[in-house]
Structure 1
Amino acid sequence: MSYFLPEDDPVLASCRGLARMHPSAIRLSERPLYLTAADPHPARRVGLVSGGGSGHEPLHAGLLGRGGLDAVCPGQIFASPHNGQIVAASHDVAGPSGVLHIVKNFTGDVLNFSIAAERLRAEGVTVAEVRVGEDVASTGTGAGRRGTAATVAVERILGAAADRGDGLEALTDLGRRVVERSRSLAVAARAHTSPDTLRPAFTLPADHIDYGVGIHGERGARTLPRPPVEALVRRMLDDLLSEGANPTADPTADPTAARNGLLLVVNGLGSTTRLELQAIAAIAGDQLAARGEKVAAVLAGTYITALDTAGFSLTLTALEPGWLELWHGTEDREGAHADAGTSVRKPPQAPVATPRPEPSTDRPRGSRAALDRYAEITRQVHDALGRLDQAAGDGDFGANLRGGLRLAVERVDRTGEDGLGAAAAVFLDQVGDSAGPLLGILFDRLAAVTGAHPGGERPAIPALADASTRALDAIRRAGGATTGDRTLIDALAPAARALTDAPRDADDAITTAALAAITGARATAAMLGGRGRASYVGERALGTPDPGAIAIALLYCALADVYEPQHATRLPAPGYVVQPSPRA
């Protein structure tokens, strides 16, 4: 249960606690937040960097050190790290042959690691990526297979190979092959406890399980009556082996491959006991042997969690020659694997902040007023946004949006800069998950227009239309989604089109664009997800609009409230905009 998380930055507090537990093994940078191994193997030529949302402990920090990772970037709970963390950590641990990013296949992680890689290459750092995606429950979805417990196998095998001095190309190839030969599947009897509501993220009928759940609280594709554990394991193994986790499944493969056998990982999702996990390992091992499969190694324990979910996953990796030796070359870790001394890394020098301006007696105008209004709306509805997100994802969207806007307001208070410009800087460099960079792109394009009117007068509609269209194009390129994929594009595209079609002298163009965005956002309730996490849950998301699209609609509502108050009275209340729709 998540009853005892500190209110003020629980992720930072957790990282501080881990560093205190293992002071000779872990170094902590707080700004930006990342952890590094204090004593990497001297033969390493490549720095291994990974990371992801918090709430999955002991992954990834539990694999820091020799035979594992050089640096870990923790995001907020169930949210990816932002690209600024990844850039700083990569610079810190880059070897003479560069840096290898190990990235779980989730939209926010992929986006932020990709942006970080481009920034690093521009700064002269050689970077490659291994993308982990092996969850069979998400096979065939628009976003591809999710990266889950096979990450443990990838990071351990690559860590041992890095310790023997393998170069970047060899490690990248090895990591990709491990991913290709791994498959995972997870089930849950009870959802995790939401840190915001202290209630289960979703409810199941008595004596039922969700089959094919994700590690962020995503619902499974099916809800089933809970079978005996032997029957459940048999069904899971059937699905894993049919999806390619079988050393003899590929007729073109090396005929000796079956001799290398399978690695079996039984992973607890947070609340499943060691007693249960070890029993499941025995059942799975016996059933695989009865099928004629050789089990070369077994790992059972809690390694990648979904907070306190009552469930488990099975992972099978079809081993190639030499992989078993690499696997055994690392000791069994559950948390950081070293012990003594204190070594907290000094954070990088931050630029000296300009003096906080004296408060003005005038009401904020223009872009600052738009930021304040958007932050106010988000505070009103962030719980509802979280509930919408829980239907198709992990439920953190509202909290992330509210937190990012709070940081933007604080930045404006401190520096006096343009409101949407501050929001762009914060969301691009400090807010993780896909919402950070994608909303940052939109704020950045809009700020180029609103920032030219600090007196508060309404920007020219053609300029706003051009900024919205350029943001739409950039977000499409960055995220890969298009209209109809159930993403924020489904609200941004109609808003941009409404502004483009508006007469130059129309005095209600922004209000009209906001109404178009609301219509587009509400329409996502009838869409199946084509990209992002909604693509994993299929029809379960129907009836609830996409929270990212709702956030875009609310942004244009805030702009209308500030620049067209005489017409913005036509807009519905924010509470209506975020209401679920009748199930499609």
Structure 2
Amino acid sequence: MPYFLPETETDPVLTACRGLVLAHPDRLALSEKPLYLTATAPDPARRVALVSGGGSGHDPLHTGLLGRGGLDAAAPGGVFASPHNGQIFAASLATHHGGGVLHIVKNYTGDKINFGIAAERLHARGVEVATVEIADDIASADAGAGRRGTAATVVVEKILGAAADTGMGLYELADLGRAVADASRSLAVCARPHTNPASLRPAAMLPPDMLDYGVGIHGERGARSIARPRVQDLIRRMLSDLTADTPTSPDGVILVVNGLGGTSHLELQAVAAIAAEQLHERGERVAAVLTGTHTAALDMAGISLTLTALAPGWLDWWQAPTDTPLTAWPGAAAPPQPAAPAASPRTPLPRRLPGSRAALDRYAEIISHVRDALGDLDQAAGDGDFGDNLTGGLRGALARVDATGEDGLTAAAHVFLDEVGGTSGPLFGLLFQHLGAVTAGCPDGQRPALSALAKALADGTTAIQRVGGARMGDRTLVDALAPAAQLLSVKREDDPAAITTAALAAIHGARGTADMLGGRGRSSYVGKRALGTPDPGAIGAALLLIALADTYEPEMATRLPLPGYVVQPATRP
């Protein structure tokens, strides 16, 4: 959300340009009236000035590509508004090397008109001008104005920048730029529209379970809204639409995974890996990948995918070194192509111990139903990822059981200790490690020895306390585990409801954390703000006790409250 743009009496675009030049005084110079930026140290071999520009809010587009191996000048307009022809005219004159000026223009009416007027004025001065128009957005292909110009602009400007540094002439560069633009297609989606800088409200309302498919970089709504699919399925759909419209090439494609301003690098990198793998499955050679926010729409939470079908020589220009504010270009080597798995003789899996997976299956089933609620609880005191982390760890544990045949909770211990990040993952791993030593030898349908189970629960709780330093009352999973372990330790072996009773103690302890101030962990940083919601780690531990009771005491476990109730924020039944 753009809270930090200067107030309306200050020009936010001019102020942002000043900040950019302050960060790169060795590369850039700023003209304030009219507003444009220039590269201060172009390659001596360059004969043609490359000039681009467009509305602000798409940064680092244009201004981030100023410098050697990139643009000579960029004319920024207002937020989502084309630059004035006077800016473009002045920027072109200031960087004219004598070999002409090449204008790189996105297909928007305002941009085309203002660059067109600037070109007429330059012609009147005797300056040769050529234009490359970029129209890559397939979602707007049927519009009267044709495809919009979006993230393929980055590809065109980068390749032209490298080619211009070889001394290539104006019309040769124009032909190259048009060919790259013609070989490029893009498609964008968003989960949240951008924020209107004036009102600080979303530019449009989109339900949380929907995506806008085919959005524009000025916040234009998509051609349709779709139910939010899995990320893999969304990318598959986008690539299907893109590859159907992108020219084919034996030299492969450049893949650009672009953020629209409100999407994290973690997400973009994950999308890049998935997209590259799916392209490989389609028989496409991915010659280079660029990932990051390069063509934003202010703070829109979305992504765009761009494919450029390569011709001979283009990859060398794409990978040529640059000296611009935006320097995160791919290296000289092409990304490795996914290799087909080597064939190997099929070996029988070790015999799975009877009953070894039942408790893990039940715990995974319970967590799958309350994952989002656990995330909501975690958001009150932390970062909201507890439900996802727990779900992912359990999914990995089930996969390990399928692959190795080992005990379910032992597999969970390996996965949570070795693979699940954050704080709670390894702590749960310690608990699984102790419990797995008991459940591994439990015959199908038979409850583990209570003395062994009580000792495992107590030892696991003690290990968690040694590592984390938590005590009863600190608002952690210890508040659920310790009373359950204590109660189980005094139960007789023939008590048919021992684990069920321990689970009730764990539930009571976990829900009681809603009244506690955090003494350890994330909730200790937020103080009273966490009051009223139970600790998600404690709830997760109580749900594990429910899973054990459901597995080993199914008739008695009907006395337990439903998992959905256990996760509810209310502190009293």
TM-score range, shorter chain: 0.5 to 0.7
Shift in Å, 1:331:
4.1
* Contact 1:266 1:277 (8 Å CA) reproduced: yes
- Give the equivalent residue in structure 1 for 2:64: 62
Give the structure 2 partner of residue 3 of structure 1. Answer: 3
Q: Which residue of 1 aligns with 2:320?
A: 329
Shift of the alpha carbon at 1:2?
1.2
The letter of the residue matching 1:5 is: L
1:294 is matched with which residue? 285
Q: Do the aligned residues in 2 keep the contact of 1:184 with 1:313 (CA within 8 Å)?
A: yes
Amino acid across the alignment from 1:6? P
* Match for residue 202 of structure 2 among 200, 203, 206: 200
The superposition leaves residues 455-477 of structure 1 with CA deviations (integer Å, 9 ceiling, x where unpaired) of xxxxxxxxxxxxxxxxxxxxxxx
Whole-angstrom distance in 2 between the partners of 1:119 and 1:176? 23
Q: TM-score, normalised to structure 2's length?
A: 0.56
Aligned residues: 326
> Contact between 1:302 and 1:334, CA under 8 Å: does it hold in 2?
no
- The equivalent of 1:100 in structure 2 is 102
Residues 1-400 of structure 1 aligned to structure 2 (within 5 Å): 1-7=1-7, 8-243=10-245, 245-247=246-248, 257-258=249-250, 260-331=251-322, 335=326
- Pick the structure with greater CA Rg: 2
CA-to-partner distance for each residue in 1:101-122, whole Å, 9 max, x for gaps?
0000011000100011001101
Between the aligned partners of 2:325 and 2:117, the Cα distance in structure 1 is 31
Aligned partner of residue 212 in structure 2, secondary structure: strand
The 3-state SS of whatever aligns with 2:14 is: helix
**Whole-angstrom CA distance in 2 between matches of 1:299 and 1:146:** 21
Cα distance in 2 for partners of 1:293, 1:231 equals: 18
1:330 Cα offset (Å): 3.2
* Matched residue type, 1:2: P
Deviations 1:385-430 (A, max 9, x none): xxxxxxxxxxxxxxxxxxxxxxxxxxxxxxxxxxxxxxxxxxxxxx
Structure 2 letter corresponding to 1:312: I
- Give the match's secondary structure for 1:108: helix
- Larger mean Cα displacement after TM superposition, 274-283 or 323-332: 323-332
Matched position secondary structure for 2:69: coil
- How far apart are the structure 2 equivalents of 1:305 and 1:233? 19
CA distance in 2, matches of 1:18, 1:275: 25
- The answer to whether the 8 Å contact 1:53/1:75 transfers is yes
Q: Is the 8 A contact 1:81 1:109 kept in 2?
A: yes
In the TM superposition, what is the alpha-carbon distance from 1:97 to its structure 2 partner?
1.3
| Consecutive unaligned residues in structure 1, runs of 5 or more | 248-256, 338-584
Judge conservation of contact 2:67–2:322 (CA < 8 Å) in 1: no
Alignment deviations for residues 250-291 of structure 1 (CA, whole Å, 9 cap, x no partner): xxxxxxx41x10000000000111110011001001101001
Distance 1:334 1:285, change over 3 A: farther
CA RMSD of aligned residues (A): 1.2
Q: Give the conservation status (yes or no) of the 8 Å contact 2:69–2:323.
A: no
- Residue type at the aligned position of 1:274: H
Distance 2:270 2:325 in 1: 19
Distance change (3 Å), C-alpha of 1:19 and 1:170: same
- Asked if the contact 2:257–2:268 (Cα under 8 Å) also holds between the matched residues in 1, the reply is yes
Summarize the Cα distance change of 1:204–1:334 in structure 2 as closer, same or farther, 3 Å threshold. farther
Correspondence for 2:394: none
Aligned to 1:353: none
**Contact 1:156-1:330 within 8 A present in 2 as well:** no
> How far is the alpha carbon of 1:314 from its aligned partner?
0.1
Alignment gaps of 5+ in structure 2:
329-573
> 5 Å matches for 1:409-488?
none
**Matches of 1:314 and 1:330 in 2, distance apart?**
23
SS for the counterpart of 1:239 is helix
CA contact 2:68–2:323 (8 Å) conserved in 1? no
Amino acid at match of 1:269: L
| Residue 360 of structure 2: aligned partner | none
* Contact 2:191-2:208 at 8 Å conserved across structures: no
Aligned to 2:331: none
User: 1:266, 1:66 → 2: CA distance?
Assistant: 24
Q: 1:332 to 1:264 in 2, by over 3 A?
A: farther
2:92 is paired with a residue whose SS is helix
Q: CA deviation at 1:306?
A: 0.3
User: Given that residues 274 and 301 in structure 1 are in contact (C-alpha distance below 8 angstroms), is that contact kept between their aligned partners in structure 2?
Assistant: yes
Q: Match for 2:256: what amino acid?
A: V
1:50-88 per-residue CA deviation (whole Å, 9 max, x = no partner) reads 000000111110000011000000000000000000000
CA distance in structure 2 between the aligned counterparts of 1:149 and 1:13, rounded to whole angstroms: 24
Cα 1:336–1:298 shift into 2, 3 Å: closer
Give the TM-score normalised by structure 1: 0.55
Cα distance, 1:333 vs structure 2: 6.1
1:336 Cα offset (Å)? 7.2
Report if the CA contact (8 A) 2:141-2:147 is conserved: yes
Tell me the SS of whatever aligns to 1:315. Answer: strand
1:198 & 1:55 partners in 2: Cα distance? 15
Distance 1:106 1:86 in 2: 15
Deviations 1:473-523 (A, max 9, x none): xxxxxxxxxxxxxxxxxxxxxxxxxxxxxxxxxxxxxxxxxxxxxxxxxxx
Deviations 1:509-557, CA, capped at 9 Å, x for gaps? xxxxxxxxxxxxxxxxxxxxxxxxxxxxxxxxxxxxxxxxxxxxxxxxx
One-letter amino acid of the counterpart of residue 3, structure 1: Y
Which residue number in structure 2 is paired with residue 485 of structure 1? none
Other structure's SS at 2:59 match: coil
Measure the CA separation in 2 of the matches of 1:24 and 1:95: 20
Contact map agreement 2:50 2:101 (CA 8 A) in 1: yes
TM-fit CA distance, 1:3 = 1.0
The answer on whether the counterparts of 2:27 and 2:324 sit within 8 Å (CA) in structure 1 is: no
Q: What is the one-letter code of the residue matched to 1:239?
A: D
Which contiguous aligned blocks of 4+ residues in structure 1 show a shift greater than 2 angstroms?
A: 330-337
Residues in 2 aligned to 1:39 and 1:332: alpha-carbon distance in whole angstroms: 9
Return the alpha-carbon distance in structure 2 between the equivalents of residues 276 and 330 of structure 1.
26
SS at match of 2:139: helix
Per-residue deviation, 1:96: 1.8
Partner of 1:572: none
Give the Cα separation in 1 of the matches to 2:58 and 2:172.
28
State the distance in 2 between where 1:334 and 1:232 align.
32
